[in-house]
Amino acid sequence: MKIIMSVNWFVKAMIFHLASIMLMISFPAHAENVVAGWIEKVSISDSHFEVHAKLDTGADSSSLNAIDYKITAQGSDQYISFDLTNKEGKTIHLKNKIVRWTSIKNKFGIVKERPVIQIPVCLGKVTRVVEVNLVDRSNYNYQMLIGRSFLIGSPNILIDSSNEYYHKPACSTQQP
Amino acid sequence: MSDIITVGWREWFSFPELGLESIKAKVDTGARTSALHAFEVERYQQDGHDMVRFLMHPKQKNTSLVKECTAKIIEKRWVTDSGGHRERRYVIKTMVKLGEYKWPIELTLTNRDSMKFRMLLGRTAMTNIIVNPSASYLMGKPFKSKSIKTKRDI
């Protein structure tokens, strides 16, 4: 009798577990949206190297400052290398595979080609590997421009355009 | 406007004082000032005020539909666009409507015929606004109105 009771209990427990698993599958935990200012410090390329970035809901893609880059061929791949110095005076050397070239058209219809690399970008606790096109941004206030391709995801990053610097890069994959 | 509202990266705006009922705009945290498409921009005087008269195409990808607008000039200001080009633009101040919200904004007038959006809402017009880059038209689409059909042959 006792055995029957415990079997009965076991079956009930299994059904409960199965039901909760089914619920979790049908309603996946939805990450809360994150709010950020329109300028944030982000870290790039799996290092603690930080740049000030403008978060731009008007841009599809992201771009990073690259001056005097060198392109080298390795087999059928092209690699691009350049030095990036941030506002704080720290310099990092980056060498990445060119994943594609993108054409950017300005308002006068002039098309310019930019190399595109794929790097991890960390904002607050959010890390995403995104395509970043490289261009001389020395005439701009911020070394990096982050567009919707980084901002959209789980969680979505919502922009408060009256505030700056809500976050410090704190991604768990980054070791000092 | 004291509530904090969340809007999409694209929204429909209207400008009652300009007679523009529905303009699709990009809500652009990358832009400081707001810009409205305008061409044949002419300055004139009315009751001692500096006024501007301009034409605009209220619909995207449509240059046959033309609206004439008039507004008071605040100033003429140097504005740098996203491509780094500097241009001197007229600045007007007018009420903007978004869903049930209404507030005054500054708009710079520039020819945006080669751009996808007829208007940009920049940061200075976004007090208490948070932008969700994954959403569009959170404040609703405007209902079809007949007054937008005003056509002017030029």
At B152 the pLDDT is: 47
Task: Write out pLDDT tens, residues A162-173.
Answer: 999 999 888 865
**Pairs of CB atoms within 8 A across A/B:** 73
The enclosing H or E element of A5 equals helix A2-26
- Report the half-sphere exposure of A89 (CA within 13 A, side-chain side): 0
Would you say residue B6 has pLDDT above 60?
Answer: yes
CATH 3.50.50.60 fits B5-140, yes or no: no
Q: Are strands A100-105 and A50-55 parallel, antiparallel or unpaired?
A: unpaired
Higher pLDDT, A94 or A19: A94
Domain residue extents for chain B:
5-140
At A104 the pLDDT is: 86
Would you say residue B151 has pLDDT above 50?
Answer: no
Taking residues B113-141, what's their average pLDDT?
Answer: 94
A33 at the B interface (CB within 8 A)? yes
- Percent of chain B past pLDDT 90, that is, above it, reads 79
Confidence of residue A129 (pLDDT cuts 50, 70, 90): very high
Hey, are the CB atoms on A58 and B134 less than 8 Å from each other? no
Q: Which residues of A51-76 are buried (b: 16+ CB within 10 A; e: fewer)?
A: bbbbbbbbbebbbbbbeeeeeeeeee
A55 at the B interface (CB within 8 A)? yes
Cα–chain-centroid distance for residue B84? Answer: 21
- For residue A55, which of A70, A40, A72 has the smallest C-alpha distance? A40
Find out whether B121 and B13 touch, Cβ atoms under 8 Å: yes
Q: Are strands A144-146 and A157-160 parallel, antiparallel or unpaired?
A: unpaired
Confidence of residue B148 (pLDDT cuts 50, 70, 90): very low
Taking residues B46-75, what's their average pLDDT?
Answer: 94
Task: Write out pLDDT tens, residues B24-59.
Answer: 999 999 999 999 999 999 999 999 999 999 999 999
Helix, coil or strand: residue B30: coil
ipTM metric: 0.85
- For residue B14, which of B101, B133, B72, B90 has the smallest C-alpha distance? B101
How far off is chain A from B94, nearest CA to CA, in Å? 20
Find out whether B12 and B141 touch, Cβ atoms under 8 Å: yes
